[in-house]
Structures are given as structure tokens and as C-alpha cells.
Amino acid sequence: MTEMILYPLRFEPIYQYRLWGGRRLAALLTAPLPNDDPIGEAWILSDRQDHSSKVANGPLQGQTLGQLMEQSQEQLMGRLAQRFQRFPLLLKFLDAHQMLSVQVHPGYKHAGISPAVETVKTEAWVVLEAAKESRIYAGLKPRTTAEILRQSVTNGTLANQLVSISPKPGDAVFIPAGTVHSLGDDVVVFEVQQNSDTTFRLYDWGHIDAKTGESRALQVDQALACIDFANGRAGLVTPVAESATPVGRETLFDCDAFWLWRVRGRSPFTVGATGVPRVLVCTEGTGQIEYHVDTYTVGKGEVWLLPAAVGACTFRPGSAVNLLEIAIPAHSASD
């Protein structure tokens, strides 16, 4: 197919049934939620074979992210084109009405546990909504061993071994691969992660899936094998301020899988970068992306991909805006 000229791209969300989900994503995204099922996840940027995001604006409407990676990889990825055959990040909104399973994602050193290294998954959360009873678990308490975890899974006391966080809106939580984690009891988060859907469940709180009438399978041995017991990086992070004018800009996450900044304010500011892609996620307010002579209206809950060929643009808030900007590092630990 002929390579297309790229521009700022908006994508449609892909809703996912989850037994622990709710219905609050309807207030965050404009696309209506399907039927009456609990919707736990909205995949807002995905290059998975089974779920590939579709462009929602302009001449490329209906094209999938996977097709763009095949047809226009140089335009899309710029200097990163030779590193990735698939877009390396998967972005989501999560509505955890109930608790997610206590789970672990593998790291590079755990490649033998699963078929391919692509199963590696480091992720991070930005809390958007939380209730008094909301809870995030991220990491293990000191001196917790595999044997203690196995016993606590059996007797239902696993939560006692986990670092517990009472989240509040704006909190940022880092979950490197190998971290035992969970969240729920009415918390909504934005999630950025490596492009993987591999999860090993350690414990599932006694959940029964209403669609099957059965509990979900656990993978205790695989989960225990993937835990990084020496990992001290997981949990709440302290934002690092970069600038206060014309808008507040702070770094939330800076790891070998992704970088993420939060920008807040009312004045115009620059987004994107020359020669590399950037992703924008609007969590509050509205605005416009100005690219050459064109403008693209950005609403709450939307994700926009700025291809490398687009470069830097001006973002002009229409009201007080809260915008997340995400970059892909030039190198990773696997290189």
C-alpha cells in the first residue's frame, strides 16, 4: 500500500469486560460503554494482534495502529523505527470497582517462563479517582519470602504481606516487572505499560466470574518465579518539577520502558518532539493541537498519537487542562 502522510491521530477506545470492573469509564470517555457488563478496562492505544486500536479522525480513519506500523513505520516512529515491529506501549484506563487479582508480570530475566521476551511488562498508574476504601498494593513488606507468600495464598492472608497504599487523585505509582501488585475498591487509574498482556495471578480474593460461574485460574508457581524480591523501586513516586511557567510540567515516570510527564495549566505549551513519536492523554479539560495550519480538538479522556513526522506542536488549552505526555526512550535494558 502507498505510504500515507501522517498527522496527529486520535484513536477509539476498546472496552474490555472484567469481573472486577464498573461503569465509571462512561464519565471519562465519550464512546458509550457496551451493554450492562462491568467494564474494567478501556484500551486507548493498543497494537496487539487481537485488539488493535483504530484511527478515529482524518483520512486514515479506520486504519489500525498495526497497519500504520506496517505501512508508515518511518513516519510514525522516526529514529525508533528499526527498534520496534509493533508499537511498544499499551495504554489503558482502568475502573477497578472490586479488587484486581494479586498478580505479577515477568521481566527480561524471566523470558524462559513464557514463550517470548515480548511478555516483559513494566507498568505505571496515575490515579484519577479514589474513594476512602480504595486500595493499591505495590510490592512486598520486608523479609517476605516465597514460602511465606505460598502459605499466605493458601490461608487467604496474602494482603498482610503486601505494601498497602491509600490512593488519592494525582498519585503516581510505579510497578516494575517482577512486582507483586493489585488495586481496587473503587479506584480509576490511567495505566501505561509495555506492550504485553502476560499476567500471572497469585491470588484472586475469592472472585467468581458471573459469566462462567467459576473462579479464575491462578498461576502461583509462575508468579512466584517472576517476583523480584530485591526490588525497591515499586510504589508511590514523587513528581519532579521541570517548569512552572507557562504551565506546570513535572516528570512522573522515567524508566527504560517509557517516560511520562504531567502538564497542568491554561496557557499554550509545546508538545511532541522532532524525530520521535509522542502520545498525549487528556485527563481533565479540553484543548487544541495546532499543527501547521490545522487544529485538532482534544477532549477529556482522549488519546492522541503525534507521529515522529509531525514533530513538535502547540497545545492550546480551552480550559484548565491536565495532560499526560508519554515518550519512548531511545534505549532499553534489553538492548
Burial environment of residue 156 by CB neighbours within 10 A (0 to 12, 13 to 18, 19 or more): exposed
28 and 109 part of one domain:
yes
250 and 112 part of one domain:
no
2 occurs within a structural domain = no
The reported pLDDT for the residue numbered 333 is: 52
The reported pLDDT for the residue numbered 203 is: 96
The reported pLDDT for the residue numbered 116 is: 45
Alpha-carbon 148 to chain mean position: 30
Is residue 120 predicted with pLDDT exceeding 90? no
CA distance 65 to 46: 7
The reported pLDDT for the residue numbered 114 is: 54
CA distance 283 to 302: 8
109 and 219 part of one domain:
yes
214 and 269 part of one domain:
no
49 occurs within a structural domain = yes
What is the DSSP track for 13-36?
-EEEEEEEEESGGGGT-SSPPPSS
143 and 45 part of one domain:
yes
CA distance 6 to 303: 16
CA distance 209 to 278: 37
158 and 286 part of one domain:
no
Residues with Cβ within 8 Å of 93's Cβ and at least 6 positions away in sequence, in order, are 13, 25, 28, 29, 41, 42, 44, 128, 188, 189, 190, 191, 301
Is residue 7 predicted with pLDDT exceeding 90? yes
230 and 131 part of one domain:
yes
335 occurs within a structural domain = no
Give pLDDT tens digits for 264-322.
999 999 999 999 999 999 999 999 999 999 999 999 999 999 999 999 999 999 999 99
90 and 33 part of one domain:
yes
Alpha-carbon 317 to chain mean position: 23
200 occurs within a structural domain = yes
Which grid cell sits at 176? 516494575
Distances (CA, A) of 222 to 111, 157, 228: 11, 19, 12
83 is catalytic: no
Among candidate residues 182, 204, 236, the one where a domain is terminated: 236
Is residue 330 predicted with pLDDT exceeding 90? no
Query: Model confidence at 115, in pLDDT bands (50, 70, 90)?
Result: low
- Return the percent helix, strand and coil in the chain, to nearest 5: 15, 40, 45
Asked if residue 293 lies in contact with residue 321, where contact means CB atoms within 8 angstroms, the answer is no
pTM listed for this prediction: 0.94
Query: Model confidence at 37, in pLDDT bands (50, 70, 90)?
Result: very high
140 occurs within a structural domain = yes
333 occurs within a structural domain = no
Among candidate residues 183, 213, 236, the one where a domain is terminated: 236
- Among 10, 18, 24, 201, the active-site one is 201
The number of distinct structural domains making up the chain is 2
Is residue 331 predicted with pLDDT exceeding 90? no
Query: Model confidence at 100, in pLDDT bands (50, 70, 90)?
Result: very high
Is residue 118 predicted with pLDDT exceeding 60? no
92 and 174 part of one domain:
yes
Q: Cis peptide leading into 277, omega within 30 of 0?
A: no
CA distance 9 to 76: 10
Among candidate residues 203, 236, 269, the one where a domain is terminated: 236
Kindly calculate the radius of gyration of the chain based on its CA atoms and give it in whole angstroms. 20
247 occurs within a structural domain = yes
Asked if residue 47 lies in contact with residue 193, where contact means CB atoms within 8 angstroms, the answer is no
Alpha-carbon 27 to chain mean position: 19
Give pLDDT tens digits for 64-91.
999 999 999 999 999 999 999 999 999 9
> Which domain CATH number covers 293?
2.60.120.10
Is residue 113 predicted with pLDDT exceeding 80? no
Question: What is the enclosing helix (H) or strand (E) of 69?
Answer: helix 65-71
CA distance 301 to 16: 16
Query: Model confidence at 107, in pLDDT bands (50, 70, 90)?
Result: confident
Q: Is 224 helix (H, G, I), strand (E, B) or coil?
A: helix
78 occurs within a structural domain = yes
228 and 186 part of one domain:
yes
196 and 261 part of one domain:
no
Question: What is the enclosing helix (H) or strand (E) of 283?
Answer: strand 278-284
**Amino acid code (one letter) for 187:** V
N-to-C CA span, the chain: 31
113 and 33 part of one domain:
yes
Residues with Cβ within 8 Å of 132's Cβ and at least 6 positions away in sequence, in order, are none
Which single residue is written with the C-alpha cell 505495590? Answer: 138
Is residue 329 predicted with pLDDT exceeding 90? yes
- The mean of the pLDDT values for the chain is 93
Residue range of the domain that includes 317? 240-327
Beta strands in 97-167 (DSSP E): 102-104, 123-130, 135-140, 162-165
